[in-house]
Structure 1
Amino acid sequence: MDKTTIEELCQSYTDLSGSDIQIVASIANTLHLYAELSNKCIFIDCMTKSSKRAIVVAEAFPRTQEAVYKKSVVGEFVYEVFEPGVHYSFSTGKKSDRNRAITQEGKIVEQSTVPIRNDNHEVIAIMIMEEELSGTYNNLNEPSDISFGSKALGNLMAETIDDYPIVPDLLMESFLVTDADQRLVYANAAGVRFINEMSQADRIQHEEILTLLPFLEEVLDNQEEVFVSELTVLSKNIEVKKVKMHSKTNELKGILMIIQDLTELRTKEKELMMKSVVIKEIHHRVKNNLQTVASLLRLQMRQVYPPENKIHFEETLNRIFSISSVYELILANENVDEDDVDLIELTKKISSSMVRNGLHNKIGLNIESNGNRVLTSSRKAVSVSLIVNELVQNSLKHAFPGELSGMIHIEFFSRKKFVELHIHDNGVGMSEVSYSLGLQIVHNLVVNDLEGEFTYMTVQSGTHATIKFPLSQEVMIHHEKTDTNC
């Protein structure tokens, strides 16, 4: 792949930085390997400055496959209406699998897309794996699957046939048109197949649509000019869109109907709904089990002697509460199956509860987030919750002896590839760091679970603990402000 071409296209048509362009160029050098390995066409698309279309900046084709493209498409623009999967990945940052698209040469292909991210985990390009769906329409040569009535369609639409080249036959939906007497005068290839599947009629052209598809009676009887209805027919879920077509004198010329098979979509929705219910139930059970353990510990505390040993139970209860807080926040989310936890909210919940329920009434709490959000998976959120619990607990226990008042500050920062969590107080400080059980827990969680670093900074007064861990697929910054603070 010509690196110069990629740089020129990106500099001319995109807002990518120099370092982002280098990432795209580096990945482009490996495209031929992906193409040979998958035996599919591979492309890289970048979003243009207008954000309304993308541009192809790199391509690779397998040598063992007959070329889908007769010429290079590098430098061609990609529109959402023809390649929705590409634009979906740009807008959501998620991959898409097996989407159908139309190439720049009018061929129907199946696409899978994967976002390419920079060091800040921003989507800068999309890698596309593409395969022609030639087999899908091989049966169009059989008379029963060929579309008919193009001339009638042109007349009904008050246009010429030249204005309707191959678009209806490219549609995955059934595209049907009747005349004013509700006789079928046009059906695209998908429509012909749909009627053949739902009806046993030997002849369909110019037949009454209700004779062929009697379940459309409710749709056709509706007097609205534009009407949409979802029906269940023969274990299929279908959506019917009806549009009445009139002449310039307002005389009814015909009815256009677009029928989409939603069976697979509804099945997936049910599966996702069941998955969400199961996940939510699991989270509920974990939370309830933690509360049960906490209740047993509180009962056990009443039997503890001497009383000063109760502090160990309290520390354990705080740890259980910290973990339970993760599941409370997950259950509060509308999209439970996404399993994302806002670390800012989690930290506020844990630290506020500890300060509020502590023995010291003169200790304040300040949490800085500057409006940005740090989202992470539940797995890493549990680790962060325990870390916050131990460090805030240390400040409450040791920083303010007697009736001494003070403040505990908690701050989040984003530093390009990392998130930093600072927990510091203005208490009496400590002469040296003694790694108690709590600090050992913190160190192990930061190093092993977060793959980060844990240090105590040297300060003139109080203590200042810093946790630094990398951004990843499980840890993301949602920037709502432009500064570097989270």
Structure 2
Amino acid sequence: MPSLSKFLSDNRGLSEKEADWLQHLVGDWNLVSDLLRADLVLWIQGVEGAHAVAHCRPATGSTVYYEDPVGIVITDEQESSIPSLLAGAEPTREPEPIEREGREATGLLVPVRKDGRTLAVLAAESPLSDGSRSANEVHQHELGRRLLRMLESGAFPIEGAPIPPRRGAPRVGDGVVQLDANGVVRWASPNALSAFHRFGIDGAMEGITLAELSTDVLQSRSPVDESLPLVLMGRAAWRSDMQARGGTLSLRAVPFTERGVRTGAVILVRDVTELRRRERELITKDATIREVHHRVKNNLQTVAALLRMQSRRMKSDEAREALSEAMRRVSTIALVHESLLQGSEEAVHFDEVIDRCLRLAVDAASATVHRAGAPRLTETQVEVHTEKIGRVGSIRAEEATPLALVVTELATNAVEHGLSETGGTLTVRSERVGSHLVINIEDDGDGMGAAKPTGLGTNIAITLVQGQLGGTLTWQVRPGGGTCAVVDVYLDPLSL
């Protein structure tokens, strides 16, 4: 089924600005749906007739559609008022009896206009009620009808007002307060009254300015959002949080206008105390984790520096080489912790780690080579180019450390045993499909022939691949000369 964007982009009768207006409407029309307790269907004119391009179900009542109506086409020959309304006819503004999927319902058609032009038709359809409406439903229905009148005149959705973020956004079911043009409370739903009572506002609210009621309980030492007074008075279509006594209310104001004059507002209210508390805990946890990674990185760099100093004091070449290898491995682990500092999650962008592992492997592998682009220390040094092909993407921190060590060990072996005398190119080729990752570490040197790789670095790489990563490590003869080490693992999925 095509998306709303596809429907609108394919409609040549709508300009880009008009299409954006309809997108803005669909992004915020759950407010109208919840107030009216009705399904909303958006119809636009197409080549074949009127097309249903978007649908919204109410969160406060029953739906009349079991199947999504998006994609239905009404031709001009069919008995319906929608094509005539799309052509500019005036609506009846009264609900009419309809039938949806074998059930009786009522439908109200409202033209969606902007700058005097009909862009679409909004159908508000709700199941037929068996009994009388409660006072709460009557008030909410009237508020919804006021928004429909604004929709018809081009005043809703409110121009310039941002679409509210989903996280913690209040909806009609959370609580509704109706204000007049002066910000005085005219009616509040039971859920809204409960939220304000928990917040610290006692007694009746009707007949009193909402800003006055809230000012008495606001924490004087807590920072207050600059938009809060405008929201409490219903003067701006905005969202704001209000905090007092350890509780937090999320407020959203939607002003009512008639012929460009503000006549009141509806305030949606939600108690988000627990949500904000958890958000603060996550922020604190994230800051703590970053600090831990920072300290671990610094400590590992200190250990690497001490190993480097100790290796310079060694008189034995074997001892000096062993300390240098230990220094390189510690530095590789430090790279992973430094990468974790850059992101907001416990995941590592491993392609950046590979770049640094390659530089580290070439620089620390042998005194007989130098990295391409780096200064040559002696005239006898050969040059090694590094190349990275493909992408690994993000992986879990628990897998990044052993994988980084494996890549560094294999890259170091490739330089020391394949390129230290002839120079050449060291290539890391990565291919990832879902959780399956294959990394090839290749060199175009002399090759190892039939010899089997040995040594401490090889044993470390095999142990890490098989033990911690649950994969395989094999060596192949590279076509055209050289050696290729193949790491084949299945990664754990990232937890979002």
Q: Name the TM-score, length of structure 1 as normaliser.
A: 0.60
Show the counterpart of 1:331.
341
State the partner residue of 1:244.
255
Task: Name the structure 2 match of 1:449.
Answer: 468
Provide, for residues 3-49 of structure 1, a one-character-per-residue CA deviation record: whole Å limited to 9, x for no partner: xxxxxxxxx999xxxxxxxxxxxxxxxxxxxxxxxxxxxxxxxxxxx
Aligned to 1:134: none
Using the alignment, how far apart are the partners of 1:251 and 1:189 within structure 2?
Answer: 29
> Relative to 1, partners in 2 of residues 1:177 and 1:364: Cα closer, same or farther, differing over 3 Å?
same
Aligned residue type for 1:420: V
> Which of 253, 267, 282 does residue 277 from structure 2 map onto?
267
Quote the RMSD (CA, aligned, Å).
4.0
In structure 2, the partner of 1:405 is 423
Show the 5 A alignment for 1:253-292: 253-292=263-302
What amino acid maps onto 1:229 in structure 2?
A: S
2:495, 2:267 → 1: CA distance? 46
User: What do the CA deviations read for 1:144-184 (whole angstroms, capped 9, x no partner)?
Assistant: x9677457646755769xxxxxxxx9734331112335442
Q: Distance in 2 between matches of 1:424 and 1:209?
A: 71
Change (3 A) 1:157 1:273: closer
Q: Contact 1:147/1:187 (CA < 8 Å) preserved in 2? A: no
Q: Which amino acid aligns with 2:427?
A: H
> 1:396-421: CA deviations, max 9, x gaps?
2221354x221111100135662111
- For 2:297, what is the secondary structure of its paired residue? helix
Q: Which amino acid aligns with 2:352?
A: E
SS of 1:302's partner is: helix
Deviations 1:253-283 (A, max 9, x none): 2232222333222211210111011111211
Unmatched tracts of structure 1, length 5 or more: 1-11, 15-49, 55-69, 80-103, 105-142, 161-168, 477-486
Contact (CA 8 Å) 1:283, 1:327: kept in 2 or not?
A: yes
1:340 correspondence with 2:351? no
In structure 1, C-alpha distance between the alignment counterparts of 2:234 and 2:477, rounded to whole Å: 78
Note if 1:296 corresponds to 2:302: no
Q: Find out whether 1:379 has 2:398 as its counterpart.
A: yes
Aligned to 1:47: none
- How big is the shift at 1:455? 0.6
Corresponding residue number in structure 2 for 1:200: 202
Residues 178, 254 of structure 1: 8 Å contact kept: yes
**Change in 2 beyond 3 A, CA 1:468/1:235:** same
User: CA 1:421–1:150 in 2, change beyond 3 Å: closer, same or farther?
Assistant: closer
Deviation at 1:77, TM superposition (A): 4.8
Q: Pick from 372, 385, 388: which aligns with 1:368?
A: 388
Amino acid at match of 1:231: M
Amino acid at match of 1:381: A
- Which residue is equivalent to 2:32? none
Gapped runs of 5+ residues in structure 2? 4-51, 57-61, 71-100, 102-133, 151-169, 219-227, 371-381
2:425 maps to amino acid: M
* Residue 211 (structure 1) shift: 5.8
Query: More displaced, 260-269 or 319-328?
Result: 260-269
1:103-182 superposed matches below 5 A: 149-150=139-140, 153=143, 171-182=172-183
Give yes or no for contact 2:389–2:427 (8 Å, CA) kept in 1. no
Identify the match of residue 317 of structure 2 among 279, 284, 307. 307
Q: 1:469 & 1:267 partners in 2: Cα distance?
A: 39
The one-letter code of the counterpart of 2:360 is S
* Residue 440 (structure 1) shift: 0.9
Between the aligned partners of 1:229 and 1:170, the Cα distance in structure 2 is 14
Mark the CA change 1:53 to 1:385 in structure 2 (over 3 Å): closer, same or farther: farther
Find the counterpart in structure 1 of residue 447 from structure 2.
429
In 2, Cα distance between the equivalents of 1:356 and 1:303?
A: 20
Write out per-residue CA displacement over residues 420-449 of structure 1, whole angstroms, 9 at most, x where no aligned residue: 110111212224114211111111111111
TM-score for the superposition, normalised by structure 2: 0.58
Q: Using the alignment, how far apart are the partners of 1:206 and 1:196 within structure 2?
A: 16
Query: Deviation per CA, 1:350-396, whole angstroms, max 9, x where unpaired?
Result: 112332454213333333334x4422112211111111111111122
2:300–2:334: 8 Å Cα contact kept in structure 1? yes
Q: Alignment partner of 2:313: what SS?
A: coil
Q: CA deviation at 1:230?
A: 3.0
Q: 1:394 to 1:190 in 2, by over 3 A?
A: same
Deviation at 1:236, TM superposition (A): 2.1
Distance 2:255 2:461 in 1: 68
Of 171-180 and 390-399, deviating more is 171-180
Partner of 2:356: 349
One-letter amino acid of the structure 2 residue matched with residue 397 of structure 1: E
State the identity as a percent.
22
SS in 2 for 1:468: strand
Instruction: Kindly indicate whether the alpha-carbon contact (under 8 Å) linking 1:171 and 1:190 is maintained by their aligned counterparts in 2.
Output: no
**Secondary structure, counterpart of 2:487 in structure 1:** strand
Q: CA deviation at 1:349?
A: 0.5
Q: How many residues align?
A: 337
The answer to whether the 8 Å contact 2:185/2:206 transfers is: yes
Q: Residues 344 and 369 of structure 1 are in contact (CA less than 8 Å); yes or no, is this contact kept in structure 2? A: no
**Would the alpha carbon gap of residues 208 and 148 (structure 1) be closer, same or farther in structure 2, given more than 3 Å must change?**
farther
Bigger mean CA deviation after superposition, 457-466 or 338-347: 457-466
Whole-angstrom CA distance in 2 between matches of 1:475 and 1:434:
37
1:331/1:51 CA distance change after superposition, 3 Å: farther
CA distance in 2 between counterparts of 1:268 and 1:448 reads 37
CA 1:283–1:398: 2 relative to 1, 3 Å: same
Native 8 Å contact 2:231 2:238 kept in 1: no
Secondary structure of 2:202 counterpart: coil
Quick check: which has more Rg, 1 or 2?
A: 2
Give the 3 Å change call, closer, same or farther, for CA 342–388 of structure 1 in structure 2: same
